[in-house]
């Protein structure tokens, strides 16, 4: 899914990151690079079907020493190699890690030791279905008390949880923030990938995990609100958010 990682990468650039590298299967490297020349790309070995192919450690080890933050998940896929990549990042990387989309699927399959192996800050950005899988509950149960479930999971796993949806919740298990920006036009494919890039960027700029998640969520919704005024909620698509991020950051600057 080249679109997902491209949306995340451009969102990171539009959120203040000086350098962004999209690590993708070599089969889609050209597609991602052609979308926006400001994105640096690195192609991983892949199999005949375009899925990641192990081993990849030797390809990526040098990057771990220079990257500040890794956002992983958008467009990742659910292959065994992708699962191994998520585990390896959590065990090997000492910076901030954001888990989204398929990375959350792979995280849900890890044993307790692997889930607890991280010594760095972790942000997870699930929608209700992904979060229900993480906690082993139904979506209905989660939606009945979003704050309780999100805060409990954040505390247990020492992570910041961004439970997406109407009135997105951000919590580290102690503090709870309920977002008020955004609109229904943002319930479209790729919108979450933009959020991933934004929060990853803020983490890389030195913000705490909680602050980066709160600001990222608010600015994301603000971009959607500005876009809706011009395009209507019905007419919005995820890539529109990228165009309105500069205006959102300007507006956020007067709000915080």
Q: What is the enclosing helix (H) or strand (E) of 247?
A: helix 238-253
Angstrom CA distances, 108 to 44, 78, 114, 135, stand at 24, 12, 10, 8
**Is the per-residue pLDDT at 231 higher than 70?**
yes
Q: Are 191 and 103 in contact (CB under 8 A)?
A: no
The answer on pLDDT for 114 being more than 80 is no
Place of tokens 């507006």: 251
Q: What is the pLDDT of residue 115?
A: 61
Measure the CA–CA gap between 63 and 208, rounded to whole angstroms.
Answer: 22
Q: Is the pLDDT of residue 118 over 70?
A: no
Scan for tokens 């698509």, then name that residue.
237
What angle do helix axes 209-231 and 238-253 make, rounded to 10 degrees?
110
pLDDT-based confidence at residue 240 (cuts at 50, 70, 90): very high
pLDDT confidence band for 54 (50 / 70 / 90):
confident
Domain that residue 117 falls in: 2-253
pLDDT for 232 equals 98
* CB-based contact 183:228 (threshold 8 Å): yes
List, for residues 81-108, the tens digit of each pLDDT value: 999 999 999 999 999 999 999 999 999 9
At 50 the pLDDT is 76
Q: Other CB atoms closer than 10 Å to residue 1's CB: what's the count?
A: 17
What number is the average pLDDT over the span 27-36? 95
Number of domain units in the chain:
1
d(CA 199, CA 194): 9
The pLDDT of residue 188? 96
Tens digits of residue pLDDT in 56-67: 888 899 999 899
Computed over every residue of the chain, the mean pLDDT equals: 93
Residue range 70-83, pLDDT digits in tens: 999 999 999 899 99
CB 225 within 8 A of CB 240: no
The Cα 24–Cα 77 span in angstroms is: 11
Q: Assign 53 a pLDDT band (cuts: 50, 70, 90).
A: confident
Distance CA 164, CA 207 (A): 20
For the segment 139-145, the average pLDDT, to the nearest whole number, is 97
pLDDT at 8 > cutoff 90: yes
Total length of the chain = 256
Task: Look at residue 1 in the predicted model and tell me its pLDDT.
Answer: 84
Look at residue 255 and tell me whether its pLDDT is greater than 60: no
State the CATH number of the domain containing residue 157.
3.40.1190.20
CA distance 222 to 249: 8
Beta-sheet pairing, 96-99 with 69-72:
parallel
Residue 49's pLDDT band, with cuts at 50, 70 and 90, is confident
pLDDT of amino acid 203 = 97
Handedness of CA 46, 47, 53, 58 (dihedral sign): negative
Token output for 59: 């390809």
pLDDT in tens, 168-186: 999 999 999 999 999 999 9
Q: In whole angstroms, what is the distance from residue 45 CA to residue 59 CA?
A: 9
- H or E stretch covering 129: helix 128-135
Percent with pLDDT over 70 in the chain: 95
CA angle 58/62/68 to nearest 5° reads: 130
**By the 8 A CB rule, do 208 and 121 touch?**
yes
Task: Compute the average pLDDT of residues 244-250.
Answer: 97
Does residue 119 surpass a pLDDT of 80?
A: no
pLDDT at 256 over 60: no
């Amino acid at each position: 899914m080249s679109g997902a990682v491209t949306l995340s990468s451009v969102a990171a650039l539009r959120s203040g990151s000086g350098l962004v590298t999209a690590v993708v299967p070599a089969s889609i490297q050209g597609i991602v690079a052609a979308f926006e020349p400001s994105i640096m790309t690195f192609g991983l070995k892949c199999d005949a079907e375009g899925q990641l192919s192990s081993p990849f450690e030797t390809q990526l080890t040098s990057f771990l020493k220079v990257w500040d933050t890794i956002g992983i998940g958008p467009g990742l896929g659910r292959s065994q190699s992708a699962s191994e990549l998520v585990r390896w990042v959590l065990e090997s990387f000492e910076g901030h890690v954001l888990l989204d989309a398929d990375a959350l699927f792979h995280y849900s399959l890890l044993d307790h030791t692997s889930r607890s192996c991280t010594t760095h800050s972790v942000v997870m950005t699930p929608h209700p279905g992904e979060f229900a899988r993480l906690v082993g509950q139904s979506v209905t149960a989660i939606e009945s008390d979003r704050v309780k479930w999100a805060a409990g999971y954040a505390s247990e796993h020492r992570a910041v949880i961004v439970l997406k949806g109407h009135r997105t919740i951000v919590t580290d298990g102690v503090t709870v923030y309920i977002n008020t920006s955004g609109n229904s036009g943002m319930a479209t494919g790729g919108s979450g990938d933009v959020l991933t890039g934004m929060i990853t960027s803020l983490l890389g700029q030195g913000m705490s995990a909680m602050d980066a998640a709160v600001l990222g969520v608010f600015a994301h919704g603000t971009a959607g609100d500005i876009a809706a005024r011009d395009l209507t909620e019905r007419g919005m698509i995820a890539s529109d958010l990228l165009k309105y991020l500069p205006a959102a950051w300007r507006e956020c600057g007067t709000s915080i």
